[in-house]
Amino acid sequence: MRQKLAAGNWKMNGTGAALAELEALIQTQSAAKSEILICPPATLLSRAADIASESNLSLGGQDCHAASSGAHTGDLSAQMLKEAGATSVILGHSERRADHNETSETVAAKAAAAWGAGLTAIVCLGETLAEREAGDTLQIIGAQFATSLPDGATAKNTVIAYEPVWAIGTGKVPSLAQIAEVHDFLRAELSTRFGAEMAATTRLLYGGSVKPGNASDIFTTSNVDGALVGGASLKAEDFSPIIAALDAS
């Protein structure tokens, strides 16, 4: 059985006052069946970990450097995130790939670093609108999958998130058939490369304009094991219905 996962990516949002939303989420989701993960800004991570220490909620980072230390001003190592209370880290998000010119090779190096620190790597894959309209979606996703995941990937150290770039923060959502096509493809790719057992146990998340109003339909889609949620994870009143929909799926 693959435990369902509701992951919230706060991105570059939130100061100390936002921790009240974390406290509210903990209070309302103490009986949730799904795993709940919040990835706040790094400045809030240790305080968030203290708040969540006696709860069923886990914390993650939004990125890490491939090196364990060194002359990398402004960067954070996986070990630093682990020490601050993270259990996971998001890697290869399209915003990192676009804003910081991260390649899939870079993502793979970061994933290996995350594993070395004992973190689960949430590896993001996704096509642009131009690639979708050109009919290249599976080719793009397949290439990112092949290069972004090191050979040491297991169901325990890796989660894969499919996030079509054109759906992130836009309000546009792929059809359920389009989501299913990519998730089914990824499940098959996992089996081909890593074997049937790993494919059957690795969690695949969907991300991109997930909201309370569409979550139930998304979670009934083939091979969707949860969601990586952006804006709707910032408020407990928005994220809680998504978690409830995941629990019910």
What does the longest C-alpha to C-alpha distance in the chain come to? Answer: 49
Q: How many CB atoms lie within 10 A of CB 238?
A: 16
Predicted confidence at residue 2, as pLDDT, reads 95
Indicate which residue of 163, 181, 183, 189 is catalytic.
163
pLDDT exceeds 90 at position 103: yes
Q: Please compute the mean of the pLDDT values over residues 144-154 and round it to a whole number.
A: 97
Q: Is 65 a catalytic residue?
A: no
Q: How many CB atoms lie within 10 A of CB 72?
A: 11
Predicted confidence at residue 122, as pLDDT, reads 98
SS3 of residue 152 by DSSP: coil
Percent of the chain at pLDDT > 70 equals 100
Residues 189/145, Cβ–Cβ less than 8 Å: yes
Output the average pLDDT for the chain.
97
pTM exceeds cut of 0.95: yes
**pLDDT, tens digit, 9 for 90 and up, residues 50-63:** 999 999 999 999 99
Indicate which residue of 93, 95, 102, 181 is catalytic.
93
Which domains, ranges and CATH numbers included, belong to the chain?
5-248 (3.20.20.70)
Q: Is 100 a catalytic residue?
A: no
Residues 93/72, Cβ–Cβ less than 8 Å: no
CB proximity list for 165: less than 8 A, separation 6 or greater: 94, 98, 126, 127, 128, 129
